[in-house]
Amino acid sequence: MTTKRQSSRLAAQSSTNDTAVASNDVETPQKKQKTDPTLEVESKPVENDDAKSSELQVGDEIPDIVLLDEDENEVDLKKVAASTKYLVIFAYPKASTPGCTRQVCGFQKNFQFLKDSNTTVFGISSDSPKAQKNFITKQGLEYSLLSDPSKKLIGPLGAKKSPSGIKRSHWIFVDSVLKVKSIGISPEVSINSAKEEIENFIKKEKSKESKGEGKEEQKNDSKDESKD
């Protein structure tokens, strides 16, 4: 009987020890650390300050950039701007699409007025010269379309749209200096406002000339009076 009781105690003690060992083997759950919300970083696209600072502003001169036209001829924009009073450049997202077709046709409608006003006009997009040539032929355009696949002019002009698009826009250079910058506009606004802006520049120019002539006449009259 004594032996049996001793065996029972030993068995109970062994069972208790096994349970203790098993409990030691189990990992204690760690408390979840609270995250400081101020340390969380939200993934957002970072604006390139250098690109933004290099964007042309009103009052800046046209950059020295050469692009290909629809016939793969090199067009030196600085030289072109120096050879004309007004230079209009308009950007469109993609050749031969509905909105862009309205835009190029609108500038074609105003082409004679622009030509008579000593204005050179170019359309520009990232399309290839071949696509631009096809666009010109289909729409019967009398002005050139520039190809800028790397956006080396479209970017500085501020019409580059992330990630790879183009904002419909137009710019007017007067005596090689940027005077009008219209970004992200409709085809109709681009067509009509560009024409109106050229008309306004012409009126201002004529007004200056007439004032200059008036002053010259006054000087001559004063000279004549002093002689008398």
pLDDT for residue 31: 53
pLDDT tens track for 196-211: 999 999 999 999 888 8
pLDDT tens track for 16-40: 555 444 444 545 555 555 544 333 3
pLDDT tens track for 111-148: 999 999 999 999 999 999 999 999 999 999 999 999 99
pLDDT for residue 46: 42
Average pLDDT, the chain: 83
CATH number of 52-207: 3.40.30.10
Residues in the chain: 228
pLDDT for residue 195: 97
Active site residue 100: yes
Give me 62's structure tokens. Answer: 């046209």
Sheet holding 66-68, edge to edge: 74-76, 66-68, 144-147, 119-125, 86-91, 169-174, 177-183
Domain map of the chain by residue range? 52-207
pLDDT surpasses 90 at 193: yes
Pairing of strands 119-125, 144-147: parallel
Give me 146's structure tokens. Answer: 């520039």
Closest CA to 88 of 103, 73, 70: 103
Residues 63 and 156 sit within 8 Å (Cβ to Cβ): yes
Considering 88, 95, 100, 166, which one is annotated as catalytic? 100
Residues 190 and 121 sit within 8 Å (Cβ to Cβ): no
